[in-house]
């Protein structure tokens, strides 16, 4: 079975540009979460979606947005890129949301902002 797939794996942008990152969850998983992992730090929660609705939002500016599609895949969008947005963006899927539910992570999209 395919795991969580993310695209693109690597990308380079310049300040001020826009980026869209994509995620396909494990088949049957209805929840997708996004995390930002800056080099040398632990992942930080950005968003969670469940059944196409936003269930949670982390402490990130409005330049960050996301959505979930009817097939449960998801996009993360970042506008007006800053140098500090350079990071590994991780997508995770799960069958449900809270409690002991386990997140399965993809390999990530590494964004470099120049």
Partner 1 sequence: AQSVTQLGSHVSVSEGALVLLRCNYSSSVPPYLFWYVQYPNQGLQLLLKYTTGATLVKGINGFEAEFKKSETSFHLTKPSAHMSDAAEYFCAVRYGSSNTGKLIFGQGTTLQVKP
Q: Which residues bind partner 1 (CB under 8 A)?
A: 4, 31, 33, 35, 40-45, 48, 55-56, 58, 90, 92, 94, 96-108
Cβ-based nearer residue to partner 1, 80 or 98: 98
Distance of closest approach, residue 112 Cβ to partner 1, in angstroms: 14
Q: Residue 25 and residue 33: Cα distance in Å, rounded?
A: 10
Cβ-based nearer residue to partner 1, 55 or 79: 55
Q: Residue 48 and residue 72: Cα distance in Å, rounded?
A: 12
Nearest to 19 by CA among 83, 108, 79, 87: 79
Contacts of 70 (CB under 8 A, 6+ apart): 52
Rounded (10°) CA dihedral 20, 75, 90, 2? -120
Cα-to-chain-centroid distance, residue 44: 10
Distance of closest approach, residue 80 Cβ to partner 1, in angstroms: 25
Distance of closest approach, residue 1 Cβ to partner 1, in angstroms: 15
Distance of closest approach, residue 3 Cβ to partner 1, in angstroms: 8
Cβ-based nearer residue to partner 1, 3 or 16: 3
Cβ-based nearer residue to partner 1, 13 or 57: 57
């Amino acid at each position: 079975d395919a795991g969580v797939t993310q695209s693109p794996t690597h990308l380079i942008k310049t300040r001020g540009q826009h980026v869209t990152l994509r995620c396909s969850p494990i088949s049957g998983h209805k929840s997708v979460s996004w995390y930002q992992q800056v080099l040398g730090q632990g992942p930080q929660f950005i968003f969670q979606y469940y059944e196409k609705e936003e269930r949670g939002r982390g402490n990130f500016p409005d330049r960050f947005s996301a959505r979930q599609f009817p097939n449960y895949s998801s996009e993360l969008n970042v506008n007006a890129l800053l140098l500090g947005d350079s990071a590994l963006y991780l997508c995770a899927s799960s069958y449900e949301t809270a409690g002991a539910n386990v997140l399965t992570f993809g390999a990530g999209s590494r964004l470099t902002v120049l």
